[in-house]
Structure 1
Amino acid sequence: MAETVLVIGNKAYSSWSLRPWLALKLTGQPFREVVIPIRTPETKARILEHSPAGKVPVLKQDGLTVWDSLAICEYLAERHPQAGLWPAEEGARALARSVAAEMHSGFQDLRSNLFMDLKQRRDHPDRVEKAAGDIRRIQELWADCRSRYGAGGPFLFGTFGIADCFYAPVCTRFVTWGVELSAGAQAYVDAVLAHPFMREWTESALAEEWVIDFGI
């Protein structure tokens, strides 16, 4: 079998890279990481060596290039059905796809104000307040998924899957920025951050030599 390669950005900062990395780990498929530091003068050129889209993440396998985090996760779900990346039940699967897609395309206030940074804890209540609507909506989504389909475990649909992969970076953001959550949402954050693959990513992120100065 040809080598599987996942091209990602710095683990401390690249939320888009974390999502398919987690999904790929869940498949059990061996793969090689290519880490390209983001926000450097060389970043764009280095990514273009792997994909004309010029963004990470990028999955390369069997002569195929797949870019965009959601497209990669969908590809992995089709290629590895045994991994159960989407829920088996039709209604649960539709909801899981919906909440992942909403994360993929929405929550702009959260993205612009509470960026992912695993290396620091930040105290900026004003930025948290600007993202308050998104924070409220995310907690509502989590509560709905958990109440309807979460009986089988601590994650959105019981077991860890693509929906959780998409909200894993949000969990780190809530910790970084000291966001106060409901008891149920906090329990979910704790479960995600305690997952072995999430702990592996975090340990690697903290060991990275690159540090980005965001100027705040």
Structure 2
Amino acid sequence: MELDMQSPGALEISRRDLLVASAATVTVAGAPSLGHSQTNIPEASTGTNVSFIVNGERLELELDNRTTLLDALREHLHLTGTKKGCDHGQCGACTVLVDGRRINACLTLAVMHEGGSITTIEGLGQPGNLHPMQAAFVEHDGFQCGYCTPGQICSSVAMLEEIRANVPSHVTGDLTAPAEITAAEIRERMSGNICRCGAYSNIVEAIIEVAGRKT
């Protein structure tokens, strides 16, 4: 049967048939082959054995490669002192010490710290044997709800070590002179740790006491 190409209706039908035929071709091409079972394809393993030292104890975990250090500590080791706040590295509640340096545990993968030494708030001190920074926070009421406090304390400990190591900050006036422990330096260096209760002045007082300086 010949189509009259001069007829608008004939041209419209040809376009419709073309679209239908194209859709059918895509559907058939995309369908799985009946001769190959999909269940025979092995799934790639995403687990990794990770060994690190946590609060002085060497531990080994089998973790999904995507597990953050924060989730490894909280969900696998049940060290729930480290808090999950924003989970985006913006509040500092998850701050822990890794090889003596403070980091946001929510922004790093556990597998990245193979062989590392990790200290959480539980490792700094315990009831009856508090770390000086923990005791100072209690004495100066450096917390209210307490949710940010573990991160604040871990960050404070590492921050003082940064000053002692003469690591400058954005408010350091003289880069050639030893860094000083001042209220301005402390506020700048602790700006990554948010206290929604607003206990900042008390936190600064606690840190200054531990540093052996007076306001």
Scaled by the length of structure 1, what TM-score is found? 0.24
Which is richer in strand? Answer: 2
Instruction: Select the structure of larger CA radius of gyration.
Output: 2
Which is richer in helix? Answer: 1
Structure with the larger RCO, 1 or 2 (CA within 8 Å, 6+ apart): 1
Scaled by the length of structure 2, what TM-score is found? 0.24
